Structure 1
Amino acid sequence: MKQGVLYGIIAYFAWGLLPVYWKLFQSMGAWEILAHRIVWSLIFVLIMIVITKRWRKLWEAAPGLKMKGALLLCSLLISANWLLYIWAVNSNQVMETSLGYYMNPLISVLLGVVFLKEKLRLGQWVALGMAALGVLYITLMYGQMPWVALSLAMTFAFYGLAKKVVNLEAMIGLAWETIFVAPIALIYLIMLQVNGTGTAIELEGWKLAMLALAGVGTAMPLYWFAQATKRLPLSTLGFIQYLSPTIQLLSAVFLFGEKFTTTHLVSFSLIWGALLVFTISSMRKKTGSVQMNPEVAIKKQA
C-alpha cells in the first residue's frame, strides 16, 4: 500500500507539473513540440524494450488488423490530446486544462454508459448533472463554451475507452501509439529544418537537452502509474488522480498569473462537488455497478 501510494503520487505529481515543463518551450510552435515529444518518446520506449528484451512481446501485442486499428485510434486520440494540451499551456490557458482534467473521469463514465451500456447509481447521475451545470455556468457567464477543457476531457476519455479495448501494459501500448505517428513527426521535423523554420535548434543548450527528455517525461509517469495500479484499490487511486489537475490549477494562478474569478470559483466548485459525490457513490456501490477506472482517467498527458 505504501509503495502504491508513493508510485501514484509521483505519477500524478509529474503529470501536474507538465505545464511548467512545456512553458520552457513557449517560443516553439505546438506542432513542433508535439513532433519532438512523439519522436523522443518512441526512442526512449524502444531503448527500454531492448534493455528488457521484450521485442517479441511488442510484436505479439498487435496480432491482427483489428488490434492494429484500435492501436491506431489510440495513437490519433492521444496525439490530438497532447497537441491541444501543449497549445493550451503555451497560450496561457493552464486553468482551462485543469478544468478539463477534473471533468475527464466524469466524461469517461458517461462514455461507459453510452458505449458499454454500463449502469450508474443515482448519486453518480447527480454528479454528472452537477458537472454539466458547472460547464453551463461558465459558458453563460463568459458567452463561450470552455472548448479547450471539453476537448481535452473528450479526447482523453475516448482514448481511455479505446485503451479498454486494447488492454496493453503501459510501455508496450505507448510504443505502438508512437510507432504509428513517429514517421509523420520525423518527416515534419526534417521539413522544418529544410525550410529553415525549425525553432528547436535555436534553443539554449539546456533547453534542448530538456526537450530531448520529453520521452522520459512521457513514459516514466505511465510506468509509475502502472506500478500504483498493481498495489492500490481503485478507490484510493481515484482520490490520488485529482492531484494532477489541482497542481495545474495552482500553477495557473500562482506561477502563470492567470485570474481565478468568481465565475471560475462557482464552476470549479460545482465540478469539485460532482467529483466528491461521484467518488462517494462509487465507493458505496454494490457488486455489478460501474466503478471509475483510473486506467480510463490516465494523464502524459500532457
Structure 2
Amino acid sequence: MTDTLSPGPDPDHQSRVRAGVGYGFGAYAIWGLLPLYFVLLAPAGPYEIVAMRILFSLVFCLLLLAVTRGLRQFLRVFRDGQAVLALSVAGVLIAGNWLLYTVAATTGRTLEASLGYFINPLVAILLGVLVLHEKLRPLQWAALGVGIVAVLVMSVFYGAVPWLSLGLAFSFGFYGLVKSRLGARYPALVTLAAETTMITPLALVAVALLGAHGGITLVSEGPGHLLLMLSAGVITAVPLLLFGAAASRLPLSTVGMIQYVAPIGQFILATALFHEAMPPERWAGFGLVWCAVVLLVLDAVRAPRAPRLPRR
C-alpha cells in the first residue's frame, strides 16, 4: 500500500498572506494615529489642513506616478467620462470625510471619530441593501439592528445625535460605494491622483479665502510647522497604498476585520492621552456598537471564504 502525500502549504502564498497582514496593520495603524498628527499641526485650522492635504497629496502622487511610469495611465483616466464623473463624486466625498475627521481631531472630539469608523461597516451593509439590493445573513441583520439602537441610545440618553460620527461613517460609506461601482479599471495610485485633481480647485479656493483673511499658517510658524504641513501628502498616500497592497493579498473578510485597528487606536488616544469624557451614556452607546462589531466578526468567520481582490 502506497501512501499519497498531500502537498504542504504553498510557501509563496503564505508569504503573500503574511505580507498582506503586515501591510493592512500598517495602513490602519497610521489611520488610527492620525489624530496625533493633526494635533501637531496647531495652530492650523481644519480647512487649511484639508486644503494642504489635497494639494500636497496630488504633488506626492504625481511624483510617484512619474517614478513608476504611471503618468500615461493617469492622463488616460480623463478620457473616460464615466470614470471622471465617479472620481469627481469620490473626491468630494473623501474631502468631506477628511474635513469631518480633521474637525474631530482638532476640537477634542476624537471619540466621535472613533465611533464613526466603528459604525462605518454597518453603513456599508445598509448601503448594500438599499442601493445594491444585497441579501443579508441573520448575523448581519442583527448587527445592523444593534447599531441603530446604539445611535438611538446616544441620541436620547447622551442628549445629542452623533452627527459627526454619522457624517464620517456615511461619507466614507458612499465613497466606498462609488469606488466599488468604478471597479478595478485603474490602480489605486491613479485613482487617488485623479480624485485629488478633481478637488484641487476647491482646495485652491479655500487657500485663497484663508489667505485673504490671514488664516494661512503654512510659512508663518517656522520650518518645523512647514515640514509637518508638507508631509500631509505622504501621510495621506502611504496608508492608502499600504491598504491597496493588503487588499490584493488577503480575503476581503480578513481586511474587514483588520479595519477595526483604526477606531480602536483612535479610542485609546481619545481616552488615555486626550482625556475626552466618557460618561455612562457614551459607554452604553459604544458598548452596543462593539456588540454589533462582534456580530459582524462572527458572521465573517462563519461565512464562506471571500475571494481576494484582483491584484493591481
Moved more, 184-193 or 168-177: 184-193
Shift of the alpha carbon at 1:96?
0.5
Shift of the alpha carbon at 1:280?
1.5
* Paired position in structure 1 for 2:178: 162
Find 1:70's aligned residue among 83, 86, 91: 86
Asked whether the 8 Å contact 2:77–2:84 carries over to 1, the reply is no
The reply on whether 1:201 has 2:219 as its aligned counterpart is: yes
- Assess if the C-alpha contact under 8 Å between 1:282 and 1:292 holds in 2: no
- Map Cα deviations across residues 87-108 of structure 1 (whole Å, 9 max, x no partner): 1111110000000000001101
CA contact (8 A) 2:251 2:308 kept: no
Compute the displacement of 1:292 (Å): 11
Give the match for residue 298 of structure 1. Answer: none
| Cα drift, residue 261 of structure 1 | 2.1
1:24 & 1:292 partners in 2: Cα distance? 40
In 1, Cα distance between equivalents of 2:128 and 2:74: 28
SS in 2 for 1:199: coil
Matched, 1:93 2:124: no
The residue identity in structure 1 corresponding to 2:147 is A
What TM-score do you get using the length of structure 1 for normalisation? 0.91
Unaligned runs of 5+ in 2: 1-16
The alpha carbon displacement at 1:144 in A equals 1.3
Whole-angstrom CA distance in 2 between matches of 1:218 and 1:169: 16
Q: Which amino acid aligns with 1:166?
A: L
Q: Is the 8 A contact 1:105 1:292 kept in 2?
A: no
1:50 to 53, 66, 73: 66
Shift of 1:193: 3.3
In structure 1, the residue matched to 2:9 is none
Quickly say closer, same or farther: Cα 1:292–1:187, change in 2 above 3 A: farther
Q: What is the distance in 2 between the residues matched to 1:198 and 1:74? A: 26
Partner of 1:197, secondary structure, is coil
The one-letter code sitting in structure 2 at the alignment partner of 1:222 is L
The structure having more radius of gyration, on CA atoms, is 2
Q: CA deviation at 1:286?
A: 5.0
Alpha-carbon distance in structure 1 between the residues aligned to 2:215 and 2:244: 39
- Cα separation, 1, equivalents of 2:214 and 2:118: 40
The answer to whether the 8 Å contact 2:252/2:307 transfers is yes
Give the drift of 1:61: 3.0
Native 8 Å contact 1:44 1:216 kept in 2: yes
The more displaced of 65-74 and 195-204 is: 195-204
Are residues 1:33 and 2:49 paired? yes
CA contact (8 A) 2:158 2:282 kept: no
Larger mean Cα displacement after TM superposition, 271-280 or 247-256: 271-280
How far 1:14 moved relative to its partner? 0.3
Specify the SS of the correspondent of 1:106: helix
Q: Do structure 1's residue 132 and structure 2's residue 130 form an aligned pair?
A: no
Aligned amino acid, residue 176 of structure 1: A
Q: Identify the residue that residue 8 of structure 2 maps to in structure 1.
A: none
1:25 alignment partner AA: L
The correspondence for 2:264, drawn from 236, 246, 256, is 246
**Alignment partner, residue 240 of structure 2:** 222
In 2, the alpha carbon distance for the partners of 1:71 and 1:25 equals: 28
- Cα deviation digits, residues 90-131 of structure 1 (max 9, x gap): 111000000000000110111011000111011110000011
Structure 1: give runs of 5+ residues left out of the alignment.
Answer: 296-302
| Counterpart-to-counterpart distance in 2, 1:172 and 1:124 | 33
Quote how far apart the aligned CAs of 1:266 are: 1.4
Q: Secondary structure at the match of 2:248?
A: helix
TM-score of the superposition, structure 2-length normalised?
A: 0.89
User: Are the counterparts in 2 of residues 238 and 294 from structure 1 also a CA contact under 8 Å?
Assistant: no
Q: Is the 8 A contact 1:12 1:241 kept in 2?
A: yes
**Partner Cα separation in structure 2 for residue 286 and residue 136 of structure 1:** 32
Q: What is the CA–CA distance in structure 2 between the aligned matches of 1:62 and 1:130, rounded to whole Å?
A: 43
User: How many residue pairs get matched?
Assistant: 292
- Change in Cα spacing, 1:253 to 1:292, as seen in structure 2 (3 Å) is farther
C-alpha displacement of 1:265: 1.7
Q: Look up the match of 1:188.
A: 206
Confirm or deny: 8 A CA contact 2:250 2:308 kept in the other structure: no
- TM-superposed CA distance for 1:294, in Å, is 9.8
Alignment match, 1:265: 283
**Aligned Cα root-mean-square deviation (Å):** 2.0
Q: Distance in 2 between matches of 1:114 and 1:162?
A: 14
